[in-house]
Amino acid sequence: MEFLSEFFARFVDKLQSPTLGFLIGGMVVAALNSRLQIPDAIYKFIVFMLLIKVGLSGGIAIRNANLAEMLLPAVFAAAIGILIVLIARNTLARLPKVKTVDAIATGGLFGAVSGSTLAAGLTMLESEGMQYEAWAAALYPFMDIPALVTAIVLASIYMGKQKTKQEALSKQEALSKQEVLSKQAVGAGGGYPSESEYPSSRQEYREQQGKRVEIWPIVKDSLQGSALSALLLGLALGILTRPESVYESFFNPLFRGLLSILMLVMGMEAWARIDELRKVAQWYAVYAVVAPLLHGLIGFGLGMVAHYTTGFSPGGVVILSVIAASSSDISGPPTLRAGIPKANPSAYIGSSTAVGTPIALALGIPLYIGLAQTLMGS
Amino acid sequence: MSQQASKLVIITEKLLLKKIAKIIDEAGATGYTVVDAGGKGSRNVRSSGQPSVSDTNSNIKFEVLTPNRDMALKISDEVAAQFFEDYSGITYLCDVEVLYAHKF
């Protein structure tokens, strides 16, 4: 009981942080039909600023860190990314009125990582005074890319199966017709087996060959996405150059203010997308509420394993949980839209932006920080 | 000096910009114009200019001038075959008179 009451007190305390205040404020403003707008260009610039700052601070600190420690959390991050898609494939996809491709794409998006959620998580950790590994933010691509690749590969396999099923059906029809024809032909003096099968199978073979999903383009597309590019650029600059002066005077001081504006946009965007979610099956809303919390707890569990085996810090465990709970909102949607064109964007973008991201931000981050403090006491 | 030509207009999702540009180049057109587009179509109201979390909701409008109708049709057939089953889009042709055409 005491454990729970302590945990609750901490949880409620975190709900009052500026990050969440602005997020909820954005939702309220949008719900009141206010004409308040943050220009698109500013939004994109803020995302760039936040991720380059996260990258820079990571890069600067990595210089004197032991990167061998990163191995286990990175493997866990990749495993979580793949696992999230598989979970969606085996739960959401099986629900009534949910199209399998849409479910796979939704899983891919929830498996992918949101730069803004990561930035919010880091900010809240810092304000709690929790220490975390410098390279923890660099776990981002390790989860993001495997999730997107898994989703696109699974969707292609599924679509391929659907196609062969249809072809098999039409082939069966053709065969039964042929039987009838050849029986008639035998009566009319010997029938030749039709030769139409050979080229058709070769054509199918070619199509199958052409349909093979190429993984490298998906990886490249993710790396070229605006969010990951900025993060990796920041990391590289932090490691290879000496950006401390510009970091101290420009990127770091602006970080919190920009983050709060970004949260405002996220809140407004979430409200605007709720309508989209109404058009698809209600199960997406249920998934979008449960998934971030469940994924985060999986991340937390694996993080704890790393904590006890390799001394992964409690702060690091929280970051792993936060990126597991987050669902991509900037780079993920275009990659999935191009990779799984048959999936309905309203389903996956709606569930991620309207419900998933706010849940991960408002409930997820405080929950994991509270859990870490209560369990590992830092 | 004016010259008769065909103008192919393609309105579709911004996501496809690079892929369609490649199709236009491969068809042998010498150039094209792209602008952001918004409006209402069979799939929904889609607008440009409001902050959107990613470019998945923005539209673009391509205008391609081709010296003959065949090239324009070749481009539009290719685009329609590749994308219009899964992405929103529409194409149409106009006859235009190009003024001051240096090269074409």
The more confident residue out of B10 and A221 is B10
Mutate to test the interface with A, among B18, B54, B58, B60 (most CBs of A within 10 A): B54
Nearest to A269 among B15, B53, B86 (CB): B53
pLDDT at A104: 96
- Please identify which residue in the block is written with the tokens 């970051």: A319
> What is the per-residue pLDDT for A205?
42
pLDDT of the residue at B48: 41
Burial class (CB in 10 A: 0-12, 13-18, 19+), A94: exposed
Task: Residue A338: list chain B partners with CB under 8 A.
Answer: 15
Q: Chain B, 46-85: which have a CB under 8 Å from a chain A CB?
A: 49-57, 83, 85
Mean pLDDT of A89-99: 92
| pLDDT number for residue A214 | 81
CA distance A72 to A93: 31
Q: Return the minimum-mean-pLDDT range out of A38-47, A58-67, B28-37.
A: A58-67
Does residue A149 have a pLDDT over 50?
yes
Instruction: Please give the mean pLDDT across all residues of chain A.
Output: 85
Contact (CB, 8 A) for A142 and A78: yes
> To 10 degrees, the CA torsion angle through A4, A10, A15, A19?
-140
pLDDT, residue A360, reads 94
Q: Is B95 on the interface with A (CB under 8 A)?
A: no
Give the model's confidence band at A196: pLDDT under 50 very low, under 70 low, under 90 confident, else very high: very low
Residues A311 and A71 sit within 8 Å (Cβ to Cβ) = no
**pTM for this structure?**
0.81
A323-357 tens-digit pLDDT:
999 999 878 888 898 889 899 888 898 899 889 99
pLDDT at A81: 96
Q: Which residue has the higher pLDDT, A67 or B54?
A: A67
Contact A55, A234 (CB under 8 A): yes
CB-based contacts of A210: which residues, under 8 Å, 6+ apart?
none
- Dihedrals phi, psi of A315, to nearest 5 degrees: -60, -40
Interface of A with B (CB under 8 A): 37-40, 42-43, 265-266, 268-269, 329-334, 337-338, 341-342, 345, 349, 353
Tokens of A342: 């048959």
DSSP string, A303-325: HHHHHHHH---HHHHHHHHHHHH
Residue B44 has pLDDT above 60, yes or no: no
Between A293 and A333, residue with greater pLDDT = A293
Q: How confident is the model at residue A261 (pLDDT cuts 50, 70, 90)?
A: very high
Name the least confident of A107-116, A246-255, B33-42, B85-94. Answer: B33-42
d(CA A329, CA A356): 10
Instruction: Please report which confidence band the pLDDT of residue A364 belongs to, taking 50, 70 and 90 as the band edges.
Output: very high
Comparing alpha-carbon positions, the chain B residue that sits nearest to A267 is: B53
Chain A residue numbers touching B51 (CB-CB < 8 A): 37-40, 42-43, 265, 268-269
For the segment A35-54, the average pLDDT, to the nearest whole number, is: 88
Of A43, A337, A342, the CB nearest to B51: A43
pLDDT band for position A190 (cuts 50, 70, 90): very low
Region A103-123: what's the mean pLDDT?
94
- The percentage of chain B sitting over the pLDDT mark of 70, rounded to a whole number, equals 81
pLDDT at A315 exceeding the cut of 80:
yes
Most A CBs within 10 Å: which of B15, B53, B55, B57, as the mutation test of the A interface?
B53
Which residues fall within 8 angstroms of residue A227, CB to CB, at 6 or more apart?
A47, A51, A115, A330, A331
How many Å separate Cα A78 from the centre of its chain?
12
Q: Provide the 8-state DSSP code for A30.
A: H
What's the confidence (pLDDT) of residue B2? Answer: 82
